[in-house]
Structure 1
C-alpha cells in the first residue's frame, strides 16, 4: 500500500510496466483544475489497493514527460487563456466546444493499455480501479504468471524484457497477411491473438477451430505485419506447440531458420525474399524452446529495429524432417511511438539489410 509513484523518465515507467502486472497511470498537469480536484480520490485508491509487483499507481506530468504522453495519445483541451500551451492542438473554437480531457487515466495490464478514462469522473475511476483490484486478486489466488491465467489477461509465453512492454496489439489488422498457410488451421490473426494457446490446456480454439497455424505445401511461412504506429522493436517471442510423436499422423515441426525484414510496403513473396538480404537472420536450436510454454525468445539487433512500421517474418525451414511447420503465437516487445497515418507504406531501400 502506498502513494502514487511520480514518473520522472520513460525508462522508469517502462520498468514499472514490466515489473507490475497492473499499472494505473494518471496523466495530469499542474495547470489543470480537474486534475487537482480528483487527486485525493486517486491517492486514496492508491493507498488502499496498490501492491508490490501486482498493482502500481503512477502520476505522469504531461508537460514534464511529453514523450510518454504522446506515445499513448494523451492530449489536453484547456481554456483559451491557457491555449499558448503546446499541448493544445485545437482551434480556439474547438477549445471552447470540447470538455476538458485532463486528467487522463490509463490502465495497463502486463504492459498493454486496456482501459482509458478521460476527465475527472470519480465514480467511473473508482468503479474501474476496484474492478481491476478484484481481477488482480483472482489472478493472484489462481497463481497467475507469465504463462497466463484464467482471468482473461493477455497470455505471454516468457518474461517481458526489462524496460519494455508487449506491443503486439499495435498491428494493423487490415494489412495483415500470411502466405502458404494450411486453410484447415488458423489465420494470420490467430498468431497475434492475446489468448493462451489451446495446446497448453485452454480448451478448444476460437469458434471451435484450431487456434494455431500450419504451413501448407512445404515448411515455409511468410507473415506480413503492418503497424498502426512506428515501433522500436526489442525482441520477439514465438510459441510452437506441435504434438508428441504418435499423437498425429504427420507431426509438424517447430521453426528453425527465421529471416526478418522491416519497412516493406507489402508481404514478400518467397522468391522475392530469397533475393533480399534480411535485416536479421535467426537460427533456433532445440534448447531455445521453453519446455513448459513452447516459447522461444528472439533478441533483435535493436539498433536496426528503431523505426519499424512493418515487419515480414519469414519461416525459412523447420527443425526436423517433416513437411510442415507449426506456429501457435507470436509476441512483439519494444516501445510504441506516434500513430502513423494509414495509407500506402513507403518502401525502404536495401540499406536496411545487413
Structure 2
C-alpha cells in the first residue's frame, strides 16, 4: 500500500509531490500530438489543447478550458508513440469549478460522451488542487502501450461549469519506430 501520511482528504490514489523533479517527470506533454487533441463540450474551440503545457507554466491562468453546456469535459489525447502512463496532476478552477472526479480510458480514439457510460480503465476522486501538489497514481499495468488517452471529467465541486488549467501526465515514452525486435540484429552479424 502507498504511504499517504499527511495526505489529508487525498485517498490512496495520490501523494504530495517532490516539486524539484516535477518539470522533468511531467514532460509527456511534448509527446502529445497536440494538433489532434479533441476536447468535447469546451466553450472556446481549441482551448482544451492549452491545458497540456510545461510544468513551469501550470500556474499561468490565462490558458484554460471551460465546459459549455454542463460540467462535463471529455479529452481525446493522441500520443506520437507508445506511452506507459504512471501519474497525473490536475489543476482546476476556483468556486466549485474544479473537477471532482476523473475516468481514464486507454486507446479509444474519437471517444464520445455516449461511450463514457462504459467501465473506465481507471477512475478516482479528485482533490481541489490549485497549484499542482496532488499527484494521482496511474495503474501502469493497465496503462502500458497507450497511443490514445481519453480523460473524462463527469462532474465538479458544485459549479455550473468546469474549469481546468493544467493536466500533467507522467510516464515513459517509446517512439513507434524504435519498437523493433532486437533479435533481428543479433542474428545477422557482419564479418
> Which protein has the bigger strand share?
2
Question: What is the root-mean-square deviation of aligned Cα atoms in Å?
Answer: 2.7
Structure 1-normalised TM-score? 0.41
Matched, 1:300 2:134: no
Q: Count residues in correspondence.
A: 159
**Whole-Å separation in 1 of the counterparts to 2:25 and 2:79:** 17
**Whole-Å separation in 1 of the counterparts to 2:137 and 2:107:** 19
Return the index of the structure with the highest Cα Rg: 1
Matched, 1:168 2:16: no
Partners of 1:226 and 1:310 within 8 A in 2: yes
- 1:221 corresponds to: 73
Partners of 1:164 and 1:335 within 8 A in 2: no
How is 1:4-19 mapped onto 2 (pairs within 5 angstroms)? none
User: Shift in Å at residue 240 of structure 1?
Assistant: 1.5
User: Shift in Å at residue 178 of structure 1?
Assistant: 0.3
Q: Secondary structure at the match of 2:160?
A: coil
Matched, 1:187 2:66: no
Unaligned runs of 5+ in 1: 1-155, 200-204, 206-210, 243-250, 342-354
How is 1:57-206 mapped onto 2 (pairs within 5 angstroms)? 158=19, 160=21, 166-183=27-44, 187-194=47-54, 195-199=57-61, 205=62
- 2:188 corresponds to: none
Unaligned runs of 5+ in 2: 1-16, 179-191
User: Shift in Å at residue 285 of structure 1?
Assistant: 3.4
Structure 2-normalised TM-score? 0.73
Assess, with a 3 A threshold, how the Cα gap between structure 1 residues 282 and 312 changes in structure 2: closer, same or farther: same
Q: Which runs of 4+ in 1 moved over 6 A?
A: none
Q: Which has the higher contact order (CA 8 A, sep 6+)?
A: 2
**Whole-Å separation in 2 of the counterparts to 1:255 and 1:232:** 24
